[in-house]
């Protein structure tokens, strides 16, 4: 028997995140593979790490984890450092190195509301259990308040005048 309740709650935002993850895999695999080959030839290791960053970001996007945002932020910072190390402040040389990663950064940042919603909905079952225990406690209080009270002692606690 298939559980459709989870997939029925997945809206357009979830599927947009999945599409972004697929795009990141399509970029990440050749960058990683080419980076391994380039490193094997004695070239820069940047592409190995950039490809891994894209693939890890895609993995955590599909899992609806905010870790995807943090991983891509690290990958982006690493890219900026690498770009300036390689070409300095030659702005035209930076365009092909930084425009696509910046567009991806904007797209990954745009997933934050969906990822937060997903993480809060994953936390909801625990909250629901706490709500039930609160309801049970409140129900007990109401039941106890309806019980007849024991009569008070006739002895007075105030001192008597003698």
Q: Where do the structural domains in the chain lie, given as residue ranges?
A: 12-117
> Model confidence over 19-37: pLDDT tens digits?
999 999 999 999 999 999 9
The answer to whether residues 96 and 46 touch, using CB atoms and an 8 Å cutoff, is no
The answer to whether residues 50 and 78 touch, using CB atoms and an 8 Å cutoff, is yes
For every residue of 26-40, DSSP letters joined together read: HHHHHHHHHHHHHHH
Instruction: Give percent of the chain with pLDDT exceeding 70.
Output: 69
Quote the crossing angle between the two packed helices 112-146 and 12-40, to the nearest 10°: 130
Instruction: Give the pLDDT score at 8.
Output: 44
> Model confidence over 48-91: pLDDT tens digits?
999 999 999 999 999 999 999 999 999 999 999 999 999 999 88
Give the model's confidence band at 121: pLDDT under 50 very low, under 70 low, under 90 confident, else very high.
confident
Instruction: Give the pLDDT score at 1.
Output: 46
- Compute the mean pLDDT over every residue in the chain, rounded to the nearest whole number: 83
Give the model's confidence band at 5: pLDDT under 50 very low, under 70 low, under 90 confident, else very high.
very low
pLDDT at residue 126 above 60? no
For the residues 85-103, what does the mean pLDDT come to?
A: 92
List the structure tokens of 27: 């970029």
Q: Which residue has the higher pLDDT, 127 or 50?
A: 50
């Amino acid at each position: 028997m298939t559980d459709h309740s989870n997939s029925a709650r997945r809206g357009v935002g979830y599927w947009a995140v999945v599409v972004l993850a697929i795009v990141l895999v399509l970029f990440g695999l050749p960058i990683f593979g080419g980076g391994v080959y380039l490193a094997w030839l004695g070239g820069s290791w940047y592409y190995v790490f950039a490809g891994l960053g894209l693939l890890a970001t895609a993995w955590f996007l599909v899992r609806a984890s905010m870790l995807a945002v943090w991983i891509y932020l690290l990958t982006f910072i690493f890219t900026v450092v690498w770009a300036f190390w390689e070409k300095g402040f030659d702005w035209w040389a930076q365009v092909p190195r930084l425009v696509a990663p910046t567009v991806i950064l904007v797209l990954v940042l745009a997933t934050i509301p969906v990822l937060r919603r997903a993480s809060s909905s994953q936390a909801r079952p625990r909250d629901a259990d706490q709500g039930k225990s609160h309801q049970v406690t409140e129900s007990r209080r109401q039941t106890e308040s309806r019980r007849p009270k024991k009569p008070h002692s006739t002895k007075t606690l105030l001192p008597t005048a003698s």
